[in-house]
Structure 1
């Protein structure tokens, strides 16, 4: 069972993932294609209802072209990182 601090960590990480995805104009389905993780599973991660493995978070970070630390930072030091803007766009054709 998760304690309150762990629930907050998951919710905060999920919020950062959702913010980054939305800032880049990606839908859940598009991120699912880029990561190989189902859209329902990504939704559970974004809402803090699933505790993803580190390797899962790394796949999401790579797909969003963001540092892994941007999603797991606990906010106890520096300001929250802003979402990077992709320079070349996304080629989702090979994932369809």
Structure 2
């Protein structure tokens, strides 16, 4: 009986979909050249499925994006900004620089 329970539990756990991982990335958006540009970048990123938060900084020329990696990817985020006229690239994290 105990073995059957363990086997059932194991099968159940293995059949569950992979849990979504919420990620936060920083995108460099060097082509923002006016104070109104962040509005367009933020609107473009917020339209991407899975994006939950976007903070765009004109002085830093970057966008910090929080998203569900089961629904979207960094490549999709870069495409969204590029399609809006503001190409972006992933900025390396502090951990990657060290």
Report the TM-score, using the length of structure 2 for normalisation.
0.35
Structure with the higher fraction of residues in strand conformation: 2
Q: Which has the larger radius of gyration?
A: 2
Structure with the higher fraction of residues in helix conformation: 1
